[in-house]
Amino acid sequence: GIVVLGLNRPHAKNALNKNVIKMMSKAVDALKSDKKVRTVIFRSEVPGIFCAGADLKERAKMHSSEVSSFVSKARATIHEMANLPVPTIAAIDGTALGGGLELALACDIRVAASSAKMGLVETKLAIIPGAGGTQRLPRTIGVSLAKELIFSARVVDGEEAKSIGLISHVVEQNETGDAAYRRALALAREFLPQGPVAMRVAKLAINQGMEVDLVTGLAIEEACYAQTIPTKDRIEGLLAFKEKRPPRYKGE
């Protein structure tokens, strides 16, 4: 039930170009409707790097209208990724800059090695984050601190990222350079025993509820809770509790 999507452009530090965005969009579309998928982990197959952001060499060759289209496609793809109906985890074992960090911010949970470097550095290039960074970073760490990091184009390591709430877990890097990925796998395995429908509607309730006032959010929770009542998952969960055994969910 755990799907791992790995970036693998070693010669370009996993920079996001047209082809990567196209492949990512195709993968996300396939995952949306696959009921066997329970958790998705985004990682890098390239040691020491998560994603260096947009491919600036490719962008330099684009016409201005192409740039706008590319950024819109990247923003839409990352947004679709954020809306996957299952938990998503970013395993940051290396540098995540610009669009790379925006990709990680779209995940539900971020795990990073203490040696990893993260930042939205677009203002150095006289542009701004364009794939959700100006919206997701303040929602993650707060408005004032997000402004500070974006205005300064500051890069933080895993320890500082944890202290400001940018990531949920920080781990010491190991000899194989995949400590964050291993921690992400451990988290994903914690999610697997839970009811699949409950997991999907819990994510939906949280995501939608965070954008509205509390009264509206409670109404969203009520509507989402109602979706779990008639499911086979819930019956199996209650039966397993009664019989004092682990539930055996088949997914729906």
Q: Does residue 194 register a pLDDT over 70?
A: yes
Q: Name the 3-class secondary structure at 4.
A: strand
Residues designated catalytic: 54, 99, 102, 122
Q: CATH 1.10.12.10 region(s) of the chain?
A: 196-243
Percent of residues, the chain, with pLDDT higher than 90: 79
- 8 Å CB contact between 104 and 96: yes
What fold does the segment set 196-243 form as a domain? Lyase 2-enoyl-coa Hydratase; Chain  A, domain 2 (1.10.12)
Q: Which fold has domain 2-192?
A: 2-enoyl-CoA Hydratase; Chain A, domain 1 (3.90.226)
**Residue extent(s) of CATH 3.90.226.10 domains in the chain:** 2-192
41 or 227: whose pLDDT is higher?
A: 41
Cα distances (Å, whole numbers) of residue 249 to 19, 40, 88, 140, 239? 37, 18, 20, 32, 11
- How far apart (Å, rounded) are the C-alpha atoms in residues 189 and 78? 24
* Cβ proximity of 114 and 93 under 8 Å: no
Q: For residue 244, give both structure tokens.
A: 């004092």
The predicted model scores a pTM of 0.89
The dihedral sign for the CA sequence 24, 207, 227, 42 = positive
Q: What is the pLDDT of residue 251?
A: 55
Helices and strands (DSSP H and E) totals, the chain: 11, 9
User: Please, which pLDDT band fits residue 252 given cuts at 50, 70 and 90?
Assistant: very low
- Residue-wise pLDDT tens digits, 91-144: 999 999 999 999 999 999 999 999 999 999 999 999 999 999 999 999 999 999
Residue 106 belongs to what H/E stretch? none
The residue count for the chain = 252
CA atoms of 110 and 20, how far apart (whole Å): 21
How many other CB atoms sit within 10 Å of the CB of residue 63? 8
Q: Cα(70)–Cα(201) distance, rounded to whole angstroms?
A: 32
